Amino acid sequence: MDAVGGKEQSNHKPERFQASERVVLMVLAAVQFTSIVDFMVVMPLGPQLMRSLKITPGQFGLIVSSYTFAAGAAGLIAAPLIDRFSRRTAFLTLFAGFLVGTFWCGFAPNYPTLVAARIATGMFGGILGGMAMAIIGDVFPEERRGRATGALMSAFALASVAGVPFGLHLGVQWGWHAPFLALVVLGCPVLVVAAVALPPLRSHLTAPKRHPLHMLAETFSHPNHLRAFALVVSLMMGGFAVIPYISAYLVANVRMPEAHLVYMYMVAGAVTLFTAPLIGRLADRYGKLRVYRVVAPFSALFLLSVTVLPPVPTAVAVSVVAALMVSNAGRMVAAMSMVTSSVLPARRGGFMSANSSVQHMASGIGSFLGGHLIGETADGRISNFETVGVIAALITLSSLWLAGRLRTAEADVEATPMASLAAAAEASCDVGEPLAGPESF
């Protein structure tokens, strides 16, 4: 028996995805790509938006943060309700609402309308990621869940290497409305394919229905859920205290030409595109917790490294940032696989919606913390970034202990002597293989 993995590790190759599983993965990845590009492309469009709409940097910041705040609020509202619907129905409704919001962004004539459109888009798009992870948990058994999560995370890398640069190109050529309208054109066929290809996934509907407020309270009071949320908070705060300010630091302190920033996105995205699925396969074979304990310290190291970079050639700076992005994506693959497995299937949709809310709130807190500590010198250089790097690295290292405390849902039920029969029945609905022990990942 493996002390970490909770089960004997075999030497044979992991079982391949089934054809139906590949289709589900492709649909989920396409939706993730669309939603991630929608969220990310706003940031490089900032100068054009400020010029076209005649707004201040602070007002532009509201355009970005309104999506995040709306996503966080919507996740809390959806958490006690979303498990009352089939996964396919919920996912298609959220994606359709996201496309409507994006369409609204594409035709927004002024600043107030654009902010309202970003709020509407965030209310739907912010929950899509959590619902995608809930579907991963329902469709893929534990022994293939890491690879499935890694494949889904590749959508983020593809968005960085292709989606954002192409969206920025459209914005430069045709105006800032063009990227949003292009995403709607891309997303409509994906919506049709998703309606046909996704299975209904109704097994969680057999669980007894409780009052939504009771379910929400239960989601945020269950000890194993709180351990999962704590792990997610450490991940998001550690990353977002640093990542939003990397571009400004590279230009101001490392003296990287602003035109070279696109290379950073492309190289980091391209490398992550290949490494995220690889780390997912390693997590399935050797255990999610074991892989997390290997990758997370590297993430802490590179969070610190990127904040103390002196003036170096562009290739060196891009390499350090790419290493950070690879390690960040790797830890997210292993961690989200564990988080998905930590909740019973009947509660997974609501839990993942709440988790999306926690993710967005924690990322906002991390960004605020970093922005509050960072200063600017008289010559325009970024100051105190190394302090932010130290804090981010320490938060990331603390996640190693938090990850070790997390259990699979089945192991948590077994470890609770007074666990109810209803909870045990919910656990039996999972397609994943039951694992024993508190460190069963």
pLDDT of 425 over the 60 cut: no
pLDDT reported for residue 320: 94
Ranges 310-314, 414-418, 436-440: which has the least confidence = 436-440
Rounded Cα distance between 124 and 82, Å, is 12
Rounded Cα distance between 41 and 180, Å, is 9
Rounded Cα distance between 283 and 361, Å, is 27
- Beta partners for residue 218, in sequence order: none
Domain ranges of the chain: 19-202+211-427
pLDDT of 182 over the 90 cut: yes
Q: Which of 356, 427, 414 is nearest to 69 (CA)?
A: 356
Residues 264/309, Cβ–Cβ less than 8 Å: no
DSSP per position, 210-270: --HHHHHHHHTT-HHHHHHHHHHHHHHHHHHTTGGGHHHHHHHTS---GGGHHHHHHHHHH
Give CA 166 to chain center in angstroms: 21
Dihedral sign computed on CA atoms, order 362, 365, 370, 371:
positive
pLDDT of 327 over the 80 cut: yes
Neighbours of 438 (CB within 10 A): 16
Longest CA–CA span in the chain (Å) reads 66
Question: Could you tell me the pLDDT band of residue 302, with boundaries at 50, 70 and 90?
Answer: very high
Question: Could you tell me the pLDDT band of residue 85, with boundaries at 50, 70 and 90?
Answer: confident
User: What are 195-208's pLDDT values in tens digits?
Assistant: 888 887 766 556 55
Q: Which of 244, 359, 341, 226 is nearest to 287 (CA)?
A: 341
Rounded Cα distance between 277 and 154, Å, is 7
Which fold is adopted by the domain 19-202+211-427?
Growth Hormone; Chain: A; (1.20.1250)
Question: Could you tell me the pLDDT band of residue 247, with boundaries at 50, 70 and 90?
Answer: confident
pLDDT, mean over the chain: 79
For residue 156, what are the CA distances in angstroms to 26, 196, 210, 235, 382? 13, 24, 36, 16, 27
Residue count of the chain, please give it. Answer: 441
Q: Which of 382, 396, 341, 285 is nearest to 4 (CA)?
A: 285
Residues 207/426, Cβ–Cβ less than 8 Å: yes
